[in-house]
Structure 1
Amino acid sequence: MRRRGKVSSHAHMGGAGGGGGGADSTYIYSHAIRFVIILVIGIHFGSLKVNAAAAAEVSIDMSTAVLLKVDRSGNGDFTKIQDAIDAVPSNNSQVYFILVKPGTYIEKIVVPADKPFITLSGSQATDTIITWSEGGEIFDSATLAVLASDFVGRYLTVQNTFGTTGKAVAVRVSGDKAAFYGCRILSYQDTLLDDAGKHYFNNCYIEGATDFICGNAASLYERCHLHSLSKGSGSVTAQHRVSPSENTGFTFLGCKVTGVGSAFLGRPWGTYSRVIFAQTYMSNVIVPQGWDDWQDQTKHSTVYYGEYKCYGPGADMSKRVRWSHRLSQQEAAPFLTKDMIGGRGWLRPAPKNFKRPSKL
C-alpha cells in the first residue's frame, strides 16, 4: 500500500506542474508497472497459501488406523512408548493406534503438537502402567504431556510418584480435542493439569490431594471417580478461567467423589473459575461449606460454582458458601451434554480396521 501512495503523490505533483509529462510521467509509469507486478505476485503467492491450507485439511479416515505395538519384553515394534510416538511422522494425515502391551513403563512421555490423531491404548488400566517421578514446575513435571490435538488415551495408568512435597503432574493435556477412557491418573498435588482445549474424560479414576484437577480447559468428566488423599482441607479442583468471555470450565456429570480426610470441591485458581458438579455422589469427605475462596473474597462475585442434583452425605447444601449456586434444571442444562465441549463434532469411536506401517 505504501507504493500505491507514492504513485498517487507523484501523479498529483505532475498535474500541479501543468504538464504531467517528461521525466515525471516516466517515473509514474515505471512505478505503476512495478506495483502491478508486485500485486500480481502477491495474489499468486496468496493463492498458493490458500491452496496449501486447503490441502492441510485433508479428510482423515477415522475407521482405519496404522497399528504400532509396544511391548517392554521385546515382542512388539518398540520396547518404549516414546519411541513409538517418535515413529509417527510429523503432521500425519492418518490415525495412529499405539497398542501398549501389559507392563510397567518407566518413561516421561511427550506427544508433540505436530502429531495429531494418536491413540495410546492399553488393554486394561491396572496392568498397563506409565510411571515417572518428577516434581517442580507444573508444566514440566508431567509423566505424560499431550500437546497434540485429537489425542485419545485408553485403559492406561499414568502416575507421578514424586510424593507429597510439591507439584507433580501425572498428565498434562494442552492439545485440543483430547479424550480419555478408562484411565487411572495418579499423583498428589496437581495430578491432572487439564490445561487448554476441549477435553472429555469417561470412566476415569483420578487421585490426588491438592488441586488435583487444575487448569483452564473446557472439559466434561462423565462417570469418573475422584479420590482425595487430603488429610486436611485440600481441593479437588482449581479451575483457571480468567475472563467471563472464556468458554472454559469443568463439568462433572454422574461422577463419584471419595477420600480419606476432608476436601473442598474447588478453589479459584482464576478469577472467573467455573466448576459444575451434577448428579454426582459425594461422600462425607466434602466439607459442609463445599468451596474455598483461596483467601480472596473479591472472587465471590466472579467465580461460578454450581451443584445440580448431587447426592450423598457430602452433597448437603444447607451450609454451602453463599456465593455458590444450587442450579435449577434450566441453569444446569447447558452443562449436561457433550455439546458444551462440541463433542459431537470430534469424539470418535475406536477404529475398526488396522494396517501395519509400510516401514519402521
Structure 2
Amino acid sequence: MMNLFRRYPLPVIVIAQLFGTSLWFSVNGVWLSFSRELALTESDLGLMTLSVQAGFISGTLLLAVTGLADRFGASVMFAVASVVGALVNAGFILAAGVFPLALVLRFLTGLCLAGIYPLGMKMVIAWTPRYAGAALAWLVGMLTLGTALPHLMRGATLGMPWQWPLAGASVLALIGAGLIWRLGDGPHLPKSAGPVPLRKGLVALGMPRFRAVAGGYMGHMWELYAFWMLTPLLVGRELDRLALPDSLVPWLAFAIIALGSLGCIGGGRLSRTRGSEWVARVALTASGTLCVIYPLISGLPAGFLLLALCCWGVAVVADSPQFSALAAANAPREFVGSSLSVMNAIGFGLTLPAIWLTSGLWQSLGVWVVWILVPGPILGLWSLAASRRAA
C-alpha cells in the first residue's frame, strides 16, 4: 500500500486536501438552519468567516516566523493539523450556542488550516516539481471543492440536524490526515538545516519578480473569499425572484463554488502550453469583468444571473494555482515553504476587510456590494504587468 501511495502521490495529496479543507466553510454550509436556530444574522456569518481567515493568517505567520514550514516534514505537519482541526470543528458543535466561544473555535480551525493548505502546496512541489502549475491546479481545485463540500453536505442532509454536516467534515479531515501520514514527504525539496528567521521568509519579497507575482495574488485574494462568502446570499436573492424554496441554496452554492475546481484544472492544463502567467491574466480579466457588470445586469432574468454566477465561480479561482506556481518558481529554493507562507499570510490578510465590508453592507447595498471587490482584479492585473517588466 505504501508503494502504491508513493507511485501516485498527486491523487493522494489532492484528495487529502479536499477532505482537510472541508473544515474551512463548514459553518457556511449549514448557515440557513444554523442561523435560524440560533437567531444569527449575515453579519454574524461574516464574523465567523473572518475568524477562520484570521486564524489562517496567524498560522501562516507562525510558520513564517518559526520556519516550521522548512524545518519539519510537511506530511507530519499536515496530518497533525488535520487531526487537531477535526477535533476543533467537532468542538464547535458543542459550543455553537455561545457566540464568543464559537468565534474562538473558528479561529482555531483557521489556525489548523494553515498547516493543511500551504503544506499541501509544498508537498505537491516536493513530489511533482516538473509540472508545478498543473499539479498545483489540482491542489487548489480540491481546496475549492473542499470549500464547496459543506454546501453539498448540507443539501444532502436537509431535514436533518445541522450538526451532521459539521461532524461529517471532521470525519473527512481525519481520513485526509491518515492519507498524508501514509504518503510521507517527497524527495525534491531540501530541508532547512536549522531555524529559519522571519527575514528569510521575507527574502523573496525583496526580489522584483516574486514581489510582482505576490501582488497579483493579493489582488486575486481580495476578491476570492468575499465572493465565496457572498455566494449563498447572491443565490438566495435569485431564488427569491424565482419564488423557489431556499432549500435549493446549498445545492446551487455548492455548484457555483465547485465549478471553480474545473477552472483550476483547466487552467492547469492550459499552463503547460500557454504558461501560468497567461492563465492568471485571462482568469483575472474574466472575474474582474463579471465583478464590474454583475450589479449593472442585476435586473435581468434570475436564471441568466445564476448562469453568470457559475461563470464567475469558474474564473474567480482559476488563477490561484498559477500564482502559487509562479511564486514557487521565483522564490529562493531553500525557503520555498516560508516564502509561500508569507505570501499566503498577506493575501489572506486582505480577505479580512473584503469579507467584513461585503458581509456588513449586504443588507443595505444588496447586490451592489460586489463592487467592493473590483479593486482586487485591477490590482492583480496591474501587478502582473509589472511582473512581465521584472522578468
TM-score under structure 1 length normalisation: 0.22
Structure possessing the higher relative contact order (Cα contacts under 8 Å, 6 or more residues apart): 2
Q: Which has the higher strand share?
A: 1
Q: Which has the higher helix share?
A: 2
